[in-house]
Amino acid sequence: MLQVETKLDALREQLPAVRATGYFNAGTNGPMSIAAHQAIVDAATEELKAGRIIPGVYEGHAVNIERVRVQLSRLFGGEADEFALTRSSNEGLSIALNGIDWAPGDEVITTNLEHPLLFAPLGMIAHRYGTKIRVANIGNGGGDIITALERQITGRTRVIALSHVMWSSGAVIDLAAVAELAHAYDALLIVDAAQSAGQVPVNLPETNVDAYAMPGQKWLGCPEGTGALWIPRHRLTDFVPTYVRYCASDPAGYIVPCPGSRRYEMGEAYAPAVLGMEAQLQFLLDEVGPEWMYERTRALADHFLASIENIDGVTVCSPRGQIGGLVCFNINGAIPQDIAAALFERNYTIRYVAYPPGPTVARASIAWWNSDEEVDGMVEELRKIAADPSTIEGKGAPA
């Protein structure tokens, strides 16, 4: 126990934001380490003082990006060259979805719990190509979702697109089972990894998914405007790059995309952000330790869920036993906006989620950097709120 506390204290020293507030909002943006911040500042200062493009800068930038790909493969499995650097989950999802040779009438299956930034590119594809979106109702994502997905399969199903961890319930989806289902019907599985990357362990080749689009800024704590898309080598021909940059091409229209998933990258990455990402991933890989971080996140979230479940007036909306760090809940007589605002006044930062067709809930992102005392402290505040919800009425901004 002492060892855990000493390690945690040392790590929390590296994350100033988690000492400013009980920080339970990695599902939006996670805290960044001092090392990552310093790498960004140093790189931006160097650009300012030495000149942005002087001999060696391009080459150095390319080397930095390759180092990040290697880190991603250490963290998520797969080969380094199977990762494309992106600026967000949405960008990765858009690259994968737009890379398919859709025909009118083709179908995509998704779920009722997805984020608007998966529904949006699906809608765009439907407008552009005349595809159909089928939404499987998987409840809160707990239990057997395979049957609900399979019920939506038809002879026109081309893709199943869903999240690894549901942003509005916290359910962790068994990707290997969904991939098996998709492949049994010759469909591809495209995964929104916005909530899962850095929250739950994953070995990508073992899941057998076909595309995995993750952000940097959430549970990994990397800078905004960073992210990655994993497409395994054997799927490169299933996803055509929509935008191409440097590759073999000529004015007659001859084109050979560059090797590996790098072919999907659109535009330059901001050099200081790449270096910030590298420093943050180094911090997670070498100082925090992936296994330790996933285990602590899960154990703390289980503890939080079990604690609030026993409070009169609190309803837990996450599937017990099937979560990582996200816990969603409601309090009788209170709206989630007011719960989030009232907790912030008491120095705990969570958020609310209110996007139909998903549920409207208060959402706490419980993560490895939180102390046990903070988690218990937030539980106590929720107990007080549940005892008299009228005390927090109107505290949140109007929805």
Ligand X SMILES: Cc1ncc(COP(=O)(O)O)c(C=O)c1O
| Shortest CB 114 distance to ligand X, Å | 7
Q: Tokens 């126990």 correspond to what residue?
A: 1
Which CB sits closer to ligand X, 187 or 193? 193
Distance CA 266, CA 264 (A): 6
115 binds ligand X (CB under 6 A): yes
Distance CA 328, CA 319 (A): 9
Pattern 139-158, ligand X, x by CB under 6 A: --------------------
Q: Tokens 């991939």 correspond to what residue?
A: 179
Of 15, 18, 68, 117, the residue at the interface with ligand X (CB under 6 A) is: 117
43-71 CB burial, b ≥16 within 10 A, e <16: bbeebeeeeeeeeeeeeebeebbebbbeb
Pattern 67-106, ligand X, x by CB under 6 A: ---------------------xxx----------------
Q: Could you give the 3-state DSSP secondary structure of residue 117?
A: helix
| Shortest CB 194 distance to ligand X, Å | 3
Distance CA 162, CA 152 (A): 14
Q: Could you give the 3-state DSSP secondary structure of residue 67?
A: helix
220 binds ligand X (CB under 6 A): no
Which CB sits closer to ligand X, 25 or 370? 25
Q: Tokens 């499987």 correspond to what residue?
A: 136
Alpha helices in 26-129 (DSSP H): 34-50, 57-76, 89-98, 116-129
Stretch near ligand X under the rule CB under 6 A, chosen from 57-65, 190-198, 236-244, 252-260: 190-198
Which CB sits closer to ligand X, 215 or 319? 215
| Shortest CB 195 distance to ligand X, Å | 5
| Shortest CB 165 distance to ligand X, Å | 8
Cα-based angle 258, 263, 267 (whole degrees, multiple of 5): 115
Stretch near ligand X under the rule CB under 6 A, chosen from 114-122, 123-131, 229-237, 357-365: 114-122
| Shortest CB 6 distance to ligand X, Å | 33
Which residue type is seen at 136?
A: A
Which residue type is seen at 229?
A: L
194 binds ligand X (CB under 6 A): yes
Q: Rule CB under 6 A: which residues touch ligand X?
A: 88-90, 115, 117-118, 163, 167, 192, 194-195, 215, 227
